[in-house]
Amino acid sequence: MTIFPRRSRSLPPLVLACCLAAAFLFSAAACKPSAVQTAGPEAPKAEVFPKELTLHGHTRVDNYYWLNERENPKVLKYLEAENTYTRAVLKPLEPLEQKLYGEFVGRIKQTDLSVPYREDGYYYYTRYEEGKDYPVYCRKKGSLEGDEEVLLNVNEMAQGHGYYSVGGLAVSPDNRMLSYGVDTVSRRKYSLRFKNLATGETLPDEIVNTTGAAAWAGDNKTVFYTQIDETTLRPQKIFRHVLGTPAETDILIFHEADETFTVEAYTTKSKRFIFVASSHTLSNEYRFIPADKPTAEFKIFEPRERNLEYGVDHYGDKFYVRTNMGAKNFRLMTASLDRTAKADWVELVPHRDDVYLEGFELFKGALVLEERRKGLLQIRIMPWDKSAGHDLDFGEATYSAWISTNREFDTDWVRYAYTSLTTPMSTFDYNMVTREKKLMKQEEVLGGFDRGNYQADRLYAPARDGAEVPVSIVYRKGFVKDGRAPGLLYAYGSYGYSTDAAFDPAG
């Protein structure tokens, strides 16, 4: 399965923040009694239609419940009135908007190319053309000197549409067929489509209301896809589709009836198994079949259990399971192909109180771990031959690094992404045997940026309970640390997520 890394071409969030801040200032000024306020546009008012909602024995009244009716002409008319009012109020800010827009666009490289990665004899990459909004997905056979094959030119596909998004690209095992999703309404309701890469023909098969992703079976004609709930957009059902057959005859494989779970289908890195994964904030459940037997009955890997989280991949004669079973910070286990119950899992990487296991990647020669220590992400190389493992040295006190796109087993090179408060987004290839590091690409920042002008440090601030809270700071060299200069503070940490130090050209 081939999935292209997605890159947003939209402007950085700071543009929106600046515009909102400016709008707030303008609105605040407009609230003062003045002739300008009297002559200004009148804000539309939504009608009140009280509706009683009872849940958990409590009844409340929602006066605006009717506004959730997306296709109601009255709702659409009201939303258009709000948009018209907004445009009128913000019209005096148009020169500022254009100035901000020009400044941010001036820092974005318009013609760009992703770092190609290799899979099944092809090099896959995404490129952007100056003045165009959408990506061009491509590949080359054998080497990067080969002829370019355009899989999808989204700029051409998007013509005539006000909105167009392509996602979930996946190539069949024989490299001849492409599945992908198309959303033209900005609702994440993708229609699944298929293209014959040998002939260039787009197949008549079209499956609506999907996530846009599909998992290919080994026969190169069967896919498993996820259907969403039309109202909530929750991924809820897995179907099996055979190319050339009507979508109405697709076989329902699994329905996730629990509304607190979502579901997806994926192929293991080895391409030997297809998994259906049900996921909840505090629980997981997986089902699987051999990829070369698409009509087989799915077998449960380990039944769901509240507070039991796990994830599965495959290599050789084992499944590899990252789990929190008896391990708050997670540990890595193995399971034989025919005995997958948790009672039969064997520990490979034990739990550690001071290290959080974020993820892992499997290679022929080594196991690569993505870990977090003292709040910092680490990448650890662990050879299968039991020789000494080692951590990658990133050379900076504060940064963010993670395992990137690695499609092949039989390679000594692991690809990872890296960024810091002074280092733009970068892609590296690292040789796990020789420890050679190659910079494959670093995001180019226009506008005269020089990272040598800045310094980044990492501090630890003691909390009331004695815990040390990591703090990353960046400043221009020559800055005098006398406690008198203003600073911009940002922090977020909740639901198991942290804010890692990363470069922001808009900041």
DSSP single-letter state for residue 352: B
The separation between CA 487 and the C-alpha centre of its own chain, rounded to angstroms, equals 30
Of 187, 142, 182, the C-alpha closest to 166 is 182
Look at residue 507 in the predicted model and tell me its pLDDT: 63
Which residues fall within 8 angstroms of residue 391, CB to CB, at 6 or more apart? 378, 379, 380, 381
Other beta carbons less than 10 A from residue 420's beta carbon: 25
Q: Which of 102, 84, 80, 131 is nearest to 18 (CA)?
A: 102
3-state helix, strand, coil in the chain (%, to 5): 15, 40, 45
Whose CA is closest to 61, among 75, 73, 51?
A: 51
Q: Got the DSSP string for 187-208?
A: SS-EEEEEEETTT-PBPS--EE
Structure confidence at residue 39 (pLDDT): 64
d(CA 192, CA 210): 7
Q: What is the pLDDT of residue 140?
A: 98
What are the structure tokens assigned to 285, written together?
């459940």
> Contact, 212 vs 194, CB < 8 A?
no
CB contact burial 374-393 (16+ within 10 A = b; e otherwise)? ebbbbbbbbeeeeeeeeebe
- Give the global pTM: 0.85
Q: Report the alpha-carbon distance of residue 205 to residue 196 in Å, rounded.
A: 11
Strand partners, 181: 167, 192
pLDDT of residue 301: 98
Closest of 451, 410, 450 to residue 433, by C-alpha? 410
For the segment 309-363, what is each residue's pLDDT rounded down to a tens digit?
999 999 999 999 999 999 999 999 999 999 999 999 999 999 999 999 999 999 9
DSSP 48-78: P--EEEEETTEEEEETTGGGG-TT-HHHHHH
Task: Report d(CA 21, CA 29) in Å as an integer.
Answer: 12
Q: What would the two tokens of residue 460 be?
A: 């630890």
Gap between the Cα atoms of 145 and 255, Å rounded? 46
Residue partners of 151: CB distance under 8 A and separation at least 6: 137, 138, 139, 169, 178, 195, 197
Mean pLDDT by 10 residues, the chain (507 residues): 41 39 41 49 94 94 94 94 95 93 80 94 96 95 96 97 96 98 95 97 98 98 97 96 98 98 98 98 97 98 98 98 98 98 98 97 98 95 94 96 97 98 97 97 89 94 92 93 90 80 82
Res 20: pLDDT: 40
Q: Which amino acid is present at 137?
A: Y
Nearest to 142 by CA among 125, 126, 119: 119
Pairing of strands 437-442, 426-431: antiparallel
Q: What is the largest CA-CA distance in the chain?
A: 80
Q: Which residues contact 463 (CB under 8 A, 6 or more apart)?
A: 469
> What are the tokens at 387?
């020789």
CA separation for the pair 483, 455 (Å, rounded): 17
Q: Which of 409, 2, 408 is nearest to 176 (CA)?
A: 2
